[in-house]
Amino acid sequence: MFRGAIIMKSVVNPNNLTQPPIRVIQRGWEALNKTIGPTDALRFVMSLTAGQGNSVKFFKQLWGNREIEEIHQEILQAKKTRKI
């Protein structure tokens, strides 16, 4: 077994592989926000999707039916409570 497989085997929890794709996207977005902040998180995600896929569909899944003002207020609240 090569080194990468050993690392993946010890890191990947098989129970998490059954999560709905939208939950995986949400958790990934939360992790990015927490580690690199919302601005760089958005830059990162946009760089991954540049030139491929449907970015409108992706962000619709990510943010659901929330309006931009609601997302903005969520960011402001997170900053106020030092979550980001």
For residue range 19-34, what is the model confidence (pLDDT) as tens digits?
677 888 888 888 998 9
Determine the Cα–Cα distance for residues 57 and 34; give it in Å rounded to an integer.
23
CA-nearest of 2, 5, 7, 27 to 16 is 27
Q: How far apart, in whole angstroms, are the C-alpha atoms of residue 52 and residue 46? A: 10
Model's pTM, two decimal places?
0.41
User: How is the chain split into domains, by residue range?
Assistant: 21-80
Greatest alpha-carbon pair distance for the chain in Å reads 50
And the tokens for 52? Answer: 């491929």
Quick check: 55 and 49 in contact, CB under 8 A? yes
The percentage of residues in the chain with a pLDDT greater than 90, rounded to a whole number, is 4
